[in-house]
């Protein structure tokens, strides 16, 4: 998993409430369990039906930051939605709120979700629609900085922060503690109570 530390990018607006996972990546494109190959079909229906959608504007090409409205990522539990965003180069999504399962999938796959107050997000959505709004998202400091110096603090789970900063998924995190786990297992083997419960371990 690619580490997520500091991301600086022109932010692209998706001013739609309740963007569900089928809007992010429609079901007909879920033809693989691999994490790669979904980026080209990100928001394909919105892109094809709305000429002013951010993907149809040259100034947003290569963007790594999305600003979205509330309840982003609702709907099904498909991880493909996160894979599609990452595959299209998106590293950060800023919104007032996110669907719970989507939040879990994002943290485990390296997509940073930043929750800010609704009034602030709506202001940023307007700005991003009207001008090139460059944002820097600093996970270590848990801050979002605008190009004019404004800053917003955001909360983030300490465990997930550690994993994202170091590019660790859940299995990688366990592997990073393998030496400590091995030592602890050896200590437990010498404990008569543990050995009586698990004699063959």
Residues 87 and 174 in one domain: no
Tens-digit pLDDT profile for residues 61-80: 999 999 999 999 999 888 99
Average per-residue pLDDT in the chain?
Answer: 90
Q: What's the confidence (pLDDT) of residue 170? A: 67
Q: Do 133 and 157 belong to one domain?
A: yes
Q: How many CB atoms lie within 10 A of CB 76?
A: 16
What's the pLDDT at 126?
98
Q: Is residue 81 part of a domain?
A: yes
For residue 16, give the nearest of 39, 46, 61 by alpha carbon.
46
Read off φ and ψ for residue 33, nearest 5 degrees: -100, 0
The reply to whether 39 and 79 lie within a common domain is yes
The predicted structure's pLDDT at residue 36: 86
Q: Do residue 163 and residue 176 come from a single domain?
A: no
Where are the strands (E) in 38-98, listed by range? 65-68, 92-95
DSSP 137-194: EETTTTEEEETTS-EEE----HHHHHHHHHT--HHHHHHHTHHHHHHHHHHHHT-HHH
Residues 175 and 135 in one domain: no
* Domain span holding position 198: 169-201
Q: How many domains, the chain?
A: 2
pLDDT at 3: 87
Q: Is residue 147 part of a domain?
A: yes
CATH code for the domain in which residue 62 is found: 3.20.19.10
- Quick one: 11 and 23 in the same domain? yes
How high is the pLDDT of residue 184? 59
Domain check: are 141 and 52 in the same one? yes
In a domain, 37, yes or no: yes
What does the pLDDT average to over 78-97?
A: 96
Query: Is the domain of 139 the same as that of 184?
Result: no
Distance CA 55, CA 48 (A): 10
Q: Are 137 and 65 in contact (CB under 8 A)?
A: yes
Q: Is residue 16 pLDDT above 70, yes or no?
A: yes
pLDDT digits (tens, 9 = 90+) for 109-152: 999 999 999 999 999 999 999 999 999 999 999 999 999 999 99
Residue 191: per-residue pLDDT? 65
Q: Which two tokens stand for residue 185?
A: 């297992």
| Same-domain status, 151 and 95 | yes
pLDDT value, residue 161: 95
Q: Do residue 153 and residue 71 come from a single domain?
A: yes
* 1, part of any domain: no
| Whether 95 contacts 69, CB under 8 Å | yes
pTM above 0.75, yes or no: yes
Same domain, 72 and 160: yes
- Which tens digits make up the pLDDT trace of 140-192? 999 999 999 999 999 999 999 999 999 887 666 566 656 666 655 666 666 65
- Per-residue confidence (pLDDT) for residue 32, from 0 to 100: 75
């Amino acid at each position: 998993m690619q580490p997520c530390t500091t991301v600086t990018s022109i932010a692209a607006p998706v001013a739609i409430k309740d963007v569900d996972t089928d809007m992010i990546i429609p079901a007909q494109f879920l033809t693989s369990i691999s994490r790669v190959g979904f980026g080209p079909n990100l928001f394909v229906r919105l892109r094809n039906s709305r000429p002013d959608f951010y993907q149809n504007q040259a100034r947003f090409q290569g963007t790594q930051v999305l600003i979205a409205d509330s309840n982003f990522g609702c709907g099904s539990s498909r991880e493909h939605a996160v894979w599609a965003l990452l595959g299209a180069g998106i590293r950060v999504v800023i919104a007032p709120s996110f669907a719970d399962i989507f939040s879990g999938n994002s943290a485990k796959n390296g997509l940073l979700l930043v929750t800010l107050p609704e009034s602030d997000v709506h202001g940023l959505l307007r700005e991003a629609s009207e001008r090139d709004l460059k944002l820097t998202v600093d996970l270590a400091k848990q801050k979002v900085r605008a190009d004019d110096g404004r800053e917003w603090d955001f909360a983030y789970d300490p465990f997930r922060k550690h994993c994202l900063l170091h590019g660790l998924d859940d299995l990688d995190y366990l592997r990073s503690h393998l030496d400590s786990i091995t030592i602890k297992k050896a200590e437990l083997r010498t404990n008569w109570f543990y050995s009586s419960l698990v004699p063959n371990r």
